Structures are given as structure tokens and as C-alpha cells.
Amino acid sequence: MGNLPLILASASPRRRELLASLGVPFEIIPAPIAEHEDPASDPREMVARNSALKADWVAVRRPEALVLGADTTVFLDGHALNKPGDAAEARAMLRRLSGRTHTVFTGLALRRVADNLRLEDCASSEVTFRVLDDTLIEDYLGRVHTLDKAGGYAIQEHGNIIVSGHTGSRTNIIGLPLENVKQLLVRSGLSV
């Protein structure tokens, strides 16, 4: 596999599925970096920095390949809600999101060291939650593994239980805004 034109610098199964839907061959090399997750930082800067760290880590090891890094966070009341550390934190996040509209930001970084290609983008979408009581939250947490998901939820997994609507890219909310990714890949010279 070592000569595919594109590498996804992420272990996320959701990003893998979304990228595969574009029909471009790629391989996966997760970047073992420590993500910057200060809840008080600017969410656009945070996801831009994390996506760049991931892409850069892989790109220096595979200089001839195009490397795509991505990072997603949920933003509400001036704070980022990243991946919950445990079920109690996931519950608390869902309570905070209940009945409210929040923003999902995804940063993208595309790198190719061989010709110094450095492209970046950021997407945002709005998600509105239903009003959630404790029974509904427990039902949702019983159905969906939320600990690897920003904000403690996944719109594509039983999202109808908790989400009343959204505006903007649904694939951004899942973790990889495909329209933005296509544009970056085309700008890099890859045919999509």
C-alpha cells in the first residue's frame, strides 16, 4: 500500500468512511500527537492547530504523499466541548447541550512535504438539540459509545433521539466536511 496518493492522519472510523465515499484511494496512518484541548481557547485556532499537528507528523515521515489531518470540536457558551473523559462527563455535556444550539468546528490541514504544499480550511455547522431529560440521556448513552466523540454525541448514531435540526454541512458535524475536503484535494492537484 505504501504508494497511495493520499494518507488520512486519523484513526477515526467516521473520517475513514466519509473519505472513502469520495472514491479516492488512501491509506491510514494515525498521528500519535497530544492534541491541544484547552476548553477556553478559540475553537477555530484549536482545530486548526490540531489538524496541522496531525498532518505535519505524518507528512514528514511520508514526504511524497498528500496527508490530510482533521480535528473537530463542539463549541457552546465560549467553551469547547471535546471528547468526554467518562460517562459522567458525557452526561454533563448532553445536559449542557439540551434545548440549545451549538457550533461544530472542523479544522483541515493538507500537507505534502516534497513540494512544500500546505493547505488549510475550517468548516462550521450549527446543531440544535431537543430538550433532553435524564431518561432520554441515559437511553442515548446506552445506545451510542460517546467517549470518542466531541461533545459526547454523534449525529449519525441515533441522532434523531437528541437532535432537532442542523444547518451547514452534516459531514462536518460527523467529523470531516466533504465539500471542503474535495476543494482542498482539487487544489492540491488530485482528481476527485
> What is the DSSP annotation of the chain?
-TT-SEEE----HHHHHHHHTTT---EE----------TTS-HHHHHHHHHHHHHHHHHHHSTTSEEEEEEEEEEETTEEE---SSHHHHHHHHHHHTT-EEEEEEEEEEEEGGGTEEEEEEEEEEEEEPP--HHHHHHHHHHS--TTSGGG--TTTTHHHHEEEEES-HHHHHT--HHHHHHHHHHTT---
- pLDDT, tens digit (0-9, with 9 covering 90-100), for 108-163: 999 999 999 999 999 999 999 999 999 999 999 999 999 889 999 999 999 999 99
The residue type found at 23 is G
Joined grid coordinates for residue 116:
512544500
- Given this model, what pLDDT does residue 96 score? 97
Joined grid coordinates for residue 160:
434523531
Is 71 labeled as catalytic in the residue annotation?
yes
- Given this model, what pLDDT does residue 185 score? 96
- Given this model, what pLDDT does residue 41 score? 85
Choice among 71, 77, 133, 139 that is catalytic: 71
- Given this model, what pLDDT does residue 2 score? 46
Cα–Cα distance between 52 and 110 in angstroms, integer? 8
Query: How many residues comprise the chain?
Result: 192
- Given this model, what pLDDT does residue 1 score? 38
* Chain Cα centroid distance, residue 114: 26
Joined grid coordinates for residue 172:
462536518
Instruction: Walk along the chain (192 residues) and give the pLDDT tens digit of each residue.
Output: 345 689 999 999 999 999 999 999 999 999 999 888 787 789 999 999 999 999 999 999 999 999 999 999 999 999 999 899 999 999 999 999 999 999 999 999 999 999 999 999 999 999 999 999 999 999 999 999 998 899 999 999 999 999 999 999 999 999 999 999 999 999 999 888
Q: Which of 186, 172, 187 is nearest to 18 (CA)?
A: 172
Joined grid coordinates for residue 91:
452526561
Write down the pTM of the prediction.
0.93
- Given this model, what pLDDT does residue 32 score? 92
6-187, CATH topology level: Maf protein (3.90.950)
